[in-house]
């Protein structure tokens, strides 16, 4: 049984790696549209995770691996995301939509001992999938059009992340954790300039190959008032230590396409070629959170995230991204899990909201993002308060960007569906 499951885990991971994920036109810049951490549980609560220690024994927290003191089962999660993006710009009053569905998370977690817990996870970190064509007319001094000019931007690729996390319970209040993160993938950007009265195209091509490690350390401290079942939690994480690198190959050339699909370049002449290597792809990150709640009933948390700015090679130049931060608030509510006469009372309801000051700044405008979210955990019939398996559903509604200075406003609705299978069966096989 264990061999069959491991093969399935690898197969699903291969499929996840091969996905073509659509996203925002702002993915044109930098390493693309960052998806991580996009688990249903985290997203449904506005992104809070740093001070979130699940009351249930079936949920493993990868964002802060210290927050797994209560985790006591083997948990297998499979999750999918459906993105629905709606774009608008005042430039020519243009509107468009973009949709995609992809496998967004696969994870396996299990306890190694009553104090030491371990998890493995695989999911997309960021992606690019865009094509933008701008056309204008060239006129002579008399105002007569003599040619059309075409400016096309294309991008594709995905960066995936594989993780291994360990959490250790020091005592009844304090826990620590560590996570190793491996990022890998390829990103491709192409900017082409052409005119209707010219045969050759001028293309600026950037290829990024990423193989990078970094590490996350986390800690949490929770106190529980046994007379009221109220608990207070403080958590913190930091991500640091880039090893490996990102290799960037840039080519400025002229050519024409020899096929109708415009995939085969002919008569290419190289004008400029550059190759650089960078280790600052994934900069320093830090998070702090506090939470308060009642055991097996409700929980509310507030969290602040910080990401240091970075520089990345882009079309032969350096693109500087500014420091960014995110403020999140969210939690969950469980009416009464022991009320077996009313299924609605046994559902875990999640809610949250966030505001994010983005790292990208264009035309003097910061590309910020905000949204609200919600979700439910629908327990299986055989689930109990100590074995919380079920169907997870989440939804996130948000806005990114602005209409100012002919930039793009992005509204989106993201739907997420997944399963959490939790039991002790795999742990017994592991120990044998």
How many CA atoms does the CB half-sphere of 31 hold within 13 Å?
28
How far apart, in Å, are the Cα atoms of 250 and each of 224, 268, 272, 392? 56, 15, 8, 43
pLDDT score at 141: 87
- The C-alpha torsion from 134 through 139 and 144 to 146, rounded to 10°, is -70
What domains can be seen in the chain, in order of their start residue? 2-125+158-183+213-242+280-431 (2.40.160.60)
pLDDT band at 228 (very low <50, low <70, confident <90, very high): very high
Q: Which pTM was predicted?
A: 0.86
> Which residue do the tokens 């499979």 mark?
78
CB 275 within 8 A of CB 214: no
Q: Please give the average per-residue pLDDT across 377-381, as a whole number.
A: 89
- 364 pLDDT band, cuts 50/70/90, is confident
| Per-residue pLDDT tens digits for 181-207 | 999 999 998 999 999 998 899 999 989
Q: What is the mean pLDDT of residues 47-63?
A: 94
Per-residue pLDDT band at 242 (split at 50, 70, 90): confident
Distance (Å, rounded) from C-alpha 351 to C-alpha 125?
23
- What is the reported pLDDT for 5? 40
* Residue 3: pLDDT band with limits 50, 70, 90: very low
Asked if residues 148 and 196 have their Cβ atoms less than 8 Å apart, the reply is yes
pLDDT tens digits, one per residue of 87-127: 888 877 788 888 889 999 999 999 999 999 999 999 999 88
Tell me the C-alpha distance between 400 and 414, whole Å: 13
| Distance spanning both ends of the chain, measured CA to CA | 13
- pLDDT at 326 (0 to 100): 96
């Amino acid at each position: 049984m264990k061999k069959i499951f491991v093969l399935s885990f690898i197969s699903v991971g291969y499929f996840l790696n091969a996905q073509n994920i659509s996203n925002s036109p702002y993915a044109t810049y930098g390493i693309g549209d960052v998806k991580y951490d996009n688990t249903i549980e985290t997203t449904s609560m506005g992104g809070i995770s740093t001070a979130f220690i699940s009351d249930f024994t079936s949920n493993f927290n990868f964002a802060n691996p210290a927050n797994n003191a209560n985790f006591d089962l083997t948990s297998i999660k499979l999750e999918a995301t459906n993105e629905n993006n709606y774009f608008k710009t005042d430039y020519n009053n243009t509107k468009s939509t973009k949709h995609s569905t992809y496998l967004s998370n696969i994870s396996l977690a299990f306890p190694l001992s009553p104090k030491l817990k371990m998890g493995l996870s695989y999911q997309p970190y960021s992606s690019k999938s865009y094509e933008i064509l701008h056309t204008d007319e060239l006129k002579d001094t008399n105002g007569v059009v003599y040619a059309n000019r075409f400016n096309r931007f294309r991008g594709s690729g995905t960066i995936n992340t594989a993780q291994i996390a360990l959490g250790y319970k020091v005592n009844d209040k304090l826990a620590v954790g560590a996570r190793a993160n491996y990022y890998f993938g390829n990103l491709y950007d192409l900017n082409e300039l052409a005119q209707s009265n010219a045969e050759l195209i001028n293309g600026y091509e950037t290829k990024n190959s990423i193989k990078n490690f970094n590490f996350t350390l986390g800690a949490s401290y929770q106190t529980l008032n046994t007379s009221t079942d109220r608990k207070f939690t403080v958590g913190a994480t930091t991500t640091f230590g880039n090893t490996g690198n990102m290799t960037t190959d840039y080519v400025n050339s002229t050519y024409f396409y020899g096929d109708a699909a415009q995939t085969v370049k002919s008569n290419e002449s190289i004008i400029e070629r550059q190759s650089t290597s960078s280790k600052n792809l994934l900069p320093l990150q830090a998070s702090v959170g506090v939470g308060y709640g009642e055991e097996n009933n409700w929980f509310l948390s507030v969290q602040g995230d910080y990401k240091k700015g970075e520089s990345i090679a882009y079309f032969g130049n350096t693109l500087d991204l500014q420091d960014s931060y995110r403020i999140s608030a969210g939690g969950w509510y469980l009416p009464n899990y022991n009320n077996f006469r009313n299924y609605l009372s046994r559902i875990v309801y999640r809610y949250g909201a966030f505001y994010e000051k983005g790292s990208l700044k264009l035309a003097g405008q910061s590309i910020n993002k905000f949204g609200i979210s919600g979700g439910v955990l629908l327990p299986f019939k055989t689930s109990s308060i100590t074995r919380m398996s079920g169907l997870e559903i989440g939804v996130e509604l948000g806005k990114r960007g602005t209409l100012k200075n002919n930039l793009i406003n992005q509204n989106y609705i993201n739907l997420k569906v997944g399963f959490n299978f939790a039991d002790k069966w795999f742990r017994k096989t592991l120990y044998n």
